[in-house]
């Protein structure tokens, strides 16, 4: 069996080598003839899987993407050919939630905000939105959820409509890119909605670039009336509108989901799906492959005010400001968006670090953020 894997899938050889020949290819530059004899095709978001790529793959039995989003898969075409496919739901939910939390602490430090006085509007309350809401809850930060499809499906959490979200101090977007149907998300934040935000509100986009109309946003920026902006994703990646970057508070190259655990979990989920399809036993697990983290223990600085002490823990594992600085320095040079993503120093998740808390009142918050805790 030939298992073709995009070369950015972590641990692909380790997970799949028992089942056949693992052949690696490069995303974005892959050609149909490179993968024509594939039995299985496994990608990440940088390979668009459509008729022109796989039209001649006659043996194809399964297509998987080791990512949460799957708007790069031509699912109608796959369904039409009856080729089973799957994404990796939830693989990097913690990673994206941690990205947003790091952004919030960075903005709080910059603008002297008390996060507990802010209200966050979360648009899309799926895996990422939920992980984020749990961390906010642990921090005592008020939040609202907007997710009409989930509300209709009987999810019993309290949901609000967009007008309530638009009144929040911070708005964080976590929806898939959806083109059609009752709740499309392409340009969900169009010129009108963007213009209704004031300059003290913070808009975070770590879902898909196309959810925010980037040209309308640039027009607003040029007019000097944009909200505060944190942007991980951009329209038309990798050829993004670099003119937007100077107007952002924090900008990054679509790396919110790029923790080691998040990427490796994506491969593991595909392995589990394919095992089911091929009727093979699941013998490998993520923990077999993950290296020890560089930072595995952290001390809580109890003398600091609690928001600052928590921020220091967050920054010790992930300081978004470093990614922002690297991005800002490189992004105007052609080709650098892809370069940054390919050579990203993949970070670890909060859970890799145990925090010594003693009997601090912050223990619950630290656990809720996702760290482990020891009290001695
Ligand atoms: N920047 C990055 O590195 C990453 C980006 N993502 C993006 O974030 C998206 C969300 O990820 P997950 O939470 O894992 O997906 P998910 O599928 O668990 O949750 C998405 C939620 O959005 C809701 N939704 C759909 N249309 C909506 C609308 N018009 N208004 C409000 N809510 C709506 C859905 O009902 C669902 O509950 C992914 O589809 C992907 O595009 C995900 C992971 C990493
Ligand atoms: O999971 C998703 O959805 C994402 O956006 C991924 O984090 C993107 O990662 P790559 O496909 O670029 O490795």
∠ at Cα 369 (365, 370), nearest 5°? 125
Ligand 1 centre to CA of 228 (Å) is 22
Phi, psi dihedrals of residue 25, rounded to the nearest 5°: -140, 165
CATH number, domain 93-251, options 3.40.50.2300, 3.55.30.10, 3.40.50.150, 3.40.50.720 = 3.40.50.720
Mean pLDDT, 10 residues at a time, the chain of 376 residues: 97 97 94 98 97 98 98 98 98 98 98 98 98 98 98 97 98 98 98 98 98 98 98 97 98 98 98 98 96 94 95 98 98 95 94 91 96 86
b/e burial code for range 81-91 (CB count within 10 A of at least 16 → b) = bebebbbbebb
CATH number for 2-87+260-288: choose from 3.40.50.720, 3.30.420.40, 2.60.40.420, 3.20.20.70. Answer: 3.40.50.720
Share in percent of the chain as helix, strand, coil (round to 5): 40, 15, 45
Atom index in ligand 1 nearest the CA of residue 149 equals 35
pLDDT the model gives residue 375: 76
pLDDT of 359 reads 79
Atom of ligand 2 nearest to the CA of 44: 11
0.95 surpassed by complex ipTM = yes
Residue in 44, 72, 174, 254 annotated catalytic? 254
Domains of the chain, residue spans: 2-87+260-288, 93-251, 297-374
Alpha-carbon distances, residue 109 vs 79, 137, 228, 340, 374 (angstroms):
49, 20, 14, 26, 27
CATH of domain 297-374: 3.30.1370.170
Q: Tell me if residue 72 is catalytic.
A: no
List, edge to edge, every strand of the sheet that includes 228-231: 142-146, 119-123, 170-173, 202-205, 228-231, 250-251
Confidence (pLDDT) at 50: 98
Nearest CA to ligand 2 atom 3: 69
Terminal CA-to-CA distance of the chain, rounded, Å?
52
Identify which ligand lies nearest to the alpha carbon of 162. Answer: 1
Q: From the candidates 119, 186, 187, 237, which is the catalytic residue?
A: 237
The span from the CA of 241 to the CA of 209, in Å, is: 11
**2-87+260-288 and 93-251 agree in CATH topology:** yes
């Amino acid at each position: 069996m030939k298992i073709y894997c995009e070369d950015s899938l972590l641990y692909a050889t380790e997970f799949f080598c028992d089942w056949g020949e693992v052949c690696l290819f490069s995303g974005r530059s892959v050609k149909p003839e490179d993968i024509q004899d594939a039995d299985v095709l496994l990608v990440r978001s940088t390979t668009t899987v459509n008729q022109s790529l796989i039209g001649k793959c006659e043996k194809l039995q399964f297509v998987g993407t080791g990512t949460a989003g799957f708007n790069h898969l031509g699912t109608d075409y796959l369904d039409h050919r009856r080729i089973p496919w799957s994404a990796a739901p939830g693989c990097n939910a913690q990673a994206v939630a941690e990205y947003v939390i790091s952004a919030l602490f960075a903005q709080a430090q910059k603008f002297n905000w008390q996060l507990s006085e802010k209200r966050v509007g979360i648009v899309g309350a799926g895996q990422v939105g939920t992980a984020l809401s749990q961390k906010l809850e642990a921090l005592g930060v008020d939040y609202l959820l907007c997710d009409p499809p989930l509300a209709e499906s009987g999810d019993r959490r309290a949901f609000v409509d967009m007008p309530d979200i638009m009144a929040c101090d911070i708005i964080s977007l976590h929806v898939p890119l959806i083109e059609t149907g009752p709740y499309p998300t392409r340009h969900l934040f169009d010129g009108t909605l963007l213009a209704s935000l004031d300059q003290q509100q913070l808009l975070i986009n770590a879902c898909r670039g196309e959810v925010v109309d980037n040209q309308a946003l640039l027009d607003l920026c040029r007019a000097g009336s944009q909200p505060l902006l944190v942007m991980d994703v951009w329209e038309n990646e990798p050829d993004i509108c670099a003119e937007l970057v100077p107007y952002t508070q924090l900008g990054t190259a679509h790396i919110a989901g790029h923790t080691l655990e998040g990427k490796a979990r994506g491969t593991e989920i595909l392995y589990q799906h394919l095992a089911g399809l091929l009727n093979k036993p699941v013998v490998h697990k993520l923990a077999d492959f993950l290296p020890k983290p560089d930072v595995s223990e952290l001390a809580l600085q109890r003398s600091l005010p609690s928001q600052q002490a928590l921020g220091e823990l967050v920054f010790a594992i992930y300081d978004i400001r470093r990614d922002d600085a690297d991005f800002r320095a490189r992004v105007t040079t052609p080709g650098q968006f892809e370069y940054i993503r390919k050579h990203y120093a993949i970070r670890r998740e909060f859970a890799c670090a145990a925090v010594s808390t003693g009997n601090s009142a912050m223990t619950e918050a630290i656990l809720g953020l996702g760290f482990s805790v020891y009290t001695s």
